[in-house]
Structure 1
Amino acid sequence: MPERTHPTQLDEALRHARADTRVSGGLAYAVRRLNDSRARHIMTGAARLAIAQRYAVEILDWTDEADALIRDLLTAMPEITSDITRGEYALLLQAPART
């Protein structure tokens, strides 16, 4: 298999997200939650939203800043387009952007 020389859109989004400590903290939180709770169950869009909301509200309460963080997290977290387990989705979030 040839070596990748250009990052994918997902790699690039995750690289940018890691630059923001709140977003990177949210991604780490999501990885822990997904691996620790029903990792073999199917990941849903509702779970993706709930994890982003829970993290943002835990650190910022219900504020405009929390709303902005939720949007940033949802941008950094790939949309669910096929059947994937929560554990597999966690792997997507923790995979380092390789460039």
Structure 2
Amino acid sequence: MPERTHPTQPDEALRHTGSDTRVRGGLAYAVRRLTDGRAHHLMTGAARLAIAQRYAIDILDWTDEADELIRDLLIAMPEITSDVTRGEYALLLQATPHA
């Protein structure tokens, strides 16, 4: 008999569906933030982290769920490995599978 504290498959599927929806929302938020202004400025790793944190905390407050969303967003957002502008990075985000 499975532990009652472990999520069932349907529960786990629903959790992942909600997470995917939130990740898509976070990526769309990031694109808007990056293109609203200063699109020609250099994109930084700190900006990448700040955008993920801001979105997650705005919708989930300071919770463990927000921490998970931040982690999921950072996984979905490509790492910055070379000089790229905020606008160019927004284009990369639009091309990600979750977007």
TM range (shorter): 0.7 to 0.9
Percent identity, please.
84
Deviation at 1:37, TM superposition (A): 2.4
Matched residue SS, 1:88: helix
1:4-83 equivalent positions in 2, closer than 5 A? 20-83=20-83
Structure number with the bigger relative contact order (C-alpha 8 A, sep ≥ 6) is: 1
Distance 1:77 1:92 in 2: 9
- RMSD, aligned CA: 1.2
5+ residue gaps, structure 1: 1-18
Equivalent residue for 1:12? none
Q: 1:21-54 deviations in whole A, cap 9, x for unaligned?
A: 0000000000000000210000000000000000
Report the number of matched residues.
Answer: 79
**Higher Cα radius of gyration:** 2
Equivalent residue for 1:85? 85
Matched residue SS, 1:68: helix
Distance 2:96 2:70 in 1: 21
5+ residue gaps, structure 2: 1-18
Equivalent residue for 2:14? none
